[in-house]
Amino acid sequence: MELTKNKPSFGPLDSVKVVYQAVEVAAPTAAAMMTDWGADVIWMENAYYGDTMRDTMFIKEQARRNQKSISMNPFSEEGREVFFRLIKDADIFIQAGKGPTYERKGLGDDVLWEVNAKLVIVHVSSFGQYGSPDRIEVPRTTT
């Protein structure tokens, strides 16, 4: 699957290809900054839930600027094949979600490295890959 590169050549990340699947804030912001520095970024939109920021046009335009997108389910048989073709020549894969979703669905880091041994994999999660919000201690204050 060869995607045409219709962007001008610029910036220190010009030869970097980034693929990411995330919805809000941290990972999209990182990907947007990478496009500012010249990276070729492809956003994998969730085929079932869509973009939760779609109704906030200003935010969407800022977070998704200069990116290509594809709507897919990387966990289906067909989606997995497309996903592997996307990351085969990618430099960075960013995934943001609830804990080790990719690991649970059979797409852990080791599987991705079999497809692309040089792939840099970034996981973004509020509570870490194996953390639990139940373990967070909230300091009590006394008055």
Residue bearing tokens 């970024």: 41
Residue 124 has a pLDDT of 86
pTM: 0.77
pLDDT at 97: 77
3-state secondary structure of 33: helix
DSSP string computed for 63-103: HTTT-EEEEE-TTSHHHHHHHHHHHTT-SEEEEESSSSHHH
Distances (CA, A) of 41 to 69, 82, 139: 8, 16, 40
pLDDT in tens, the chain (143 residues): 555 556 667 788 989 999 999 877 788 889 999 999 999 999 998 777 666 665 666 666 667 778 888 888 999 999 999 999 999 999 999 998 777 788 889 999 999 999 999 999 998 876 655 555 555 555 555 55
